[in-house]
Amino acid sequence: MVADDPSRLDRLSRGLRREGFDIARCGGPIGLTRLIRSFHPDIVLVDIRIPCDNSRIVELIRSVAGPNAKCFVLSDSFQWEAAAPLVGDHAHGRLTKDLSMHDMAAALKATLGCGLPHSQPQRLVRR
C-alpha cells in the first residue's frame, strides 16, 4: 500500500494481523502485481490517495487477483466523492480509515462470508 501516513499503514497492518489476517504489502504497481500472483489474496485494499488512476489500478488488481478476490477502496471519511465512482463498477466496497480494527476486520470477513478464527487467517494485500 502506498500510504499518505506510513505510521497509519503500520498500525492498520498490525491491527488486522491481530484480527486474523495474513497481510502482504508492497510499494508500487509492478511489485503489487507480482505479489498478488504469488500471494493469492482473498482481499486487496487500495488507498484512494495513491498517485495514479485509481479505477485502472483496481481493474488491474481484479484481473490479476482473479474472480474470487475482493477489492476495497480505503479512504478517509471525507473522501466519498473520490471513492464513490470506484465502488460498484470497479471495487467491491469502501472502508474508511477511521474504522476500528475490529470493525474493519468484521466488515472484511462478512464480505468473504466467514467469521474464521485466528487459526485460519484471511489473505490480505495492502497496497
Which 3-state string (H, E, C) describes the chain?
Answer: CCCCCHHHHHHHHHHHHHCCEEEEECCCHHHHHHHHHHHCCCEEEEECCCCCCHHHHHHHHHHHHCCCCEEEEEECHHHHHHHHHHECCCECEEEECCCCHHHHHHHHHHHHCCCCCCCCCEEEEEC
Instruction: Specify the higher pLDDT residue, 52 or 17.
Output: 17
* CATH at residue 47: 3.40.50.2300
**Inside any domain, residue 38:** yes
Q: Is 70 exceeded by the pLDDT of residue 76?
A: yes
**Inside any domain, residue 112:** yes
Find residue 72's DSSP bridge partners.
45, 93
- Structural domain total, the chain: 1
* Largest interatomic CA distance in the chain: 38
Q: What is the pLDDT of residues 14-36, one digit of tens each?
A: 998 999 898 887 766 667 888 88
**Inside any domain, residue 1:** no
What is the model's pTM?
0.77
As a whole number of angstroms, the distance between CA 38 and CA 47 comes to: 21
Tell me what percent of the residues of the chain surpass a pLDDT of 70: 67
**Inside any domain, residue 106:** yes
Grid coordinates belonging to 125: 494485500
Range of the domain at 64: 6-126
* Residue-level pLDDT at 121: 43
22: number of Cβ within 10 Å: 15
Q: What is the pLDDT of residues 91-107, one digit of tens each?
A: 788 888 888 889 999 98
pLDDT band at 84 (very low <50, low <70, confident <90, very high): low
As a whole number of angstroms, the distance between CA 1 and CA 38 comes to: 16
* Residue-level pLDDT at 18: 92
**Inside any domain, residue 115:** yes
